[in-house]
Amino acid sequence: LLDVRFQQISSVRDRRRAVLLDLGFSGLWSFLWFVGFCFLTNQWQRTAPGPGTTQAADAARAAIAFSFFSILSWVALTVKALQRFRLGTDMSLFATEQLGAGAGQAYPGYPVGSGVEGTETYQSPPFTETLDTSPKGYQVPAY
């Protein structure tokens, strides 16, 4: 929800708080999933083979596997939040769309309209047809 509303936050201080909240939340869940994974694997290792464990073996392995994959996904979210935090007050945080990929690229031109205006990039100034170079009754002052 915070990532969805992030572009609408205009204050740099509020954006920093939002990024820190995201970083802390993702880091906490990464740690909790790691603890859960370690606990599940330790319990699975201690479990003695028996008639009840053969039925629950697939469920236990699935829980261990999904807790491991949850660690990976939450760590990825934490790294992404850390990258956003390191950007700091960079103005790219305020842009809703990225303009260029590299520093060597030229600035993209102004987008062309709907096509009704024409395809030429240069337009003559308005009222050039009615421009009179020497109107009647007007004397050019001599300096």
CA–CA dist 42, 56 (Å, integer): 16
Domain annotation covers residue 132: no
Give the chain's domain count: 1
pLDDT band at 13 (very low <50, low <70, confident <90, very high): confident
Q: Give the residue-averaged pLDDT of 12-24.
A: 88
Q: Could you count the other beta carbons within 10 Å of the beta carbon of residue 22?
A: 20
Domain that holds residue 60: 30-49+56-88
pLDDT band at 48 (very low <50, low <70, confident <90, very high): confident
Domain annotation covers residue 115: no
Residue-level pLDDT at 99 = 47
Domain annotation covers residue 64: yes
